[in-house]
Amino acid sequence: MIPRRALLAAPALAAAPARAQVGAAGAAVDLLLVLAVDASGSIDADEFALQRDGIAEAIAHPAVLAAIRSRPRGAIGVAMVEWGSPGGAATVVDWMRVTDAASATAAAEAMRDAPRSRQSYNAIGDAILHATALIAAAPWRAEERTIDVSGDGPDIRSLTPAAEARDYAVAQGIVVNGLAIEASSAWRDGRLAAAYERDVMGGPGAFVMRAEDRRDFARALRAKLIREVALHPAGAQSAHATGKVGASGA
């Protein structure tokens, strides 16, 4: 069943940035990946810059590129969504095709330099619905489709609760993974990761990783991307596997 607010995500895509690098329309890629990034009011300007730099560093890292090259087509499609406000998730970087160092650098620069969207609260469920609609509108085909949710708090004030949105995404054949940034003392010691396991993580091989804080974010995201790109769901670890940074071996 479609969540009662699922259609809210679709109109938001109309205001998405122009696609900077779509390649051949309809061409296949190994993976469609949406990075759904926390831009809520709990993140100040310095923390936001650390987060954006971490994303840029991770997407262009040689180990991530090696993982992409190891796949049959040697290509992934990646987009970035910022979330926070109920019903207000925004596509800040539309689909870009990453195949080599040059295209990875272009994606990294776009993700680092995109204007910050206006967000508040922690509406993770609405972000998952937005990312699901974005995947449905992607310019390429892929058997593997993943939403990568990173944030420093649990779902708050979503129009569609995170678990309901997650179940809807999984029903569309999408895997939802989590990166729990334990920046707040209230959510340290695995408590945020446990909330993400319960409410966010879903699909074959889904997992949650932890970052101790935003300075740990780049390393955590890099390990997460390698795991998402290099491992086919059929060969991935249990859907209930979790780990701290580096636990994947990346």
| Residue range 50-86, pLDDT digits in tens | 889 999 999 999 999 999 999 999 999 999 999 988 8
Catalogue all structural domains in the chain, each as residue range(s) with its CATH number.
25-244 (3.40.50.410)
On the 0-12 / 13-18 / 19+ scale of CB atoms within 10 A, 34 is buried
Report pTM: 0.84
pLDDT band at 26 (very low <50, low <70, confident <90, very high): low
Please report the pLDDT score of residue 184 as a whole number.
Answer: 64
Please report the pLDDT score of residue 133 as a whole number.
Answer: 98
pLDDT > 90? residue 4: no
Q: Which of 13-17, 54-58, 131-135 has maximum average pLDDT?
A: 131-135
Q: Measured between alpha carbons, how far is residue 214 from residues 98, 183, 211 in Å?
A: 25, 7, 7
| Structure tokens that stand for 146 in this block | 């993943």
Looking at residue 176, its amino acid is: V
| Structure tokens that stand for 28 in this block | 């296949």
Q: DSSP of 106-170, one letter per residue?
A: HHHHHHHHSPPP---SB-HHHHHHHHHHHHHT-SSB-SEEEEEEEESS--BS-SS-HHHHHHHHH
CA distance 250 to 232: 16
Query: pLDDT exceeding 90 applies to what percent of the chain?
Result: 60
| Structure tokens that stand for 38 in this block | 């926390």
- Secondary structure (3-state) at 91: strand
| Residue range 140-151, pLDDT digits in tens | 999 999 999 999
Please report the pLDDT score of residue 170 as a whole number.
Answer: 98
Please report the pLDDT score of residue 117 as a whole number.
Answer: 83
Angle of the 45-59 helix axis to the 217-230 helix axis, nearest 10: 30
Candidate from 21-35, 71-85, 169-183 with smallest mean pLDDT: 21-35
| Residue range 228-248, pLDDT digits in tens | 998 755 444 433 333 333 333
Please report the pLDDT score of residue 72 as a whole number.
Answer: 94
Please report the pLDDT score of residue 16 as a whole number.
Answer: 47
- Secondary structure (3-state) at 177: strand
Please report the pLDDT score of residue 12 as a whole number.
Answer: 45
CA distance 211 to 228: 16
The DSSP call for residue 28 is B
Looking at residue 124, its amino acid is: I
φ and ψ of 214, to 5 deg? -70, -25
Mean pLDDT, the chain, rounded, equals 83
pLDDT > 70? residue 3: no
CA distance 110 to 98: 12
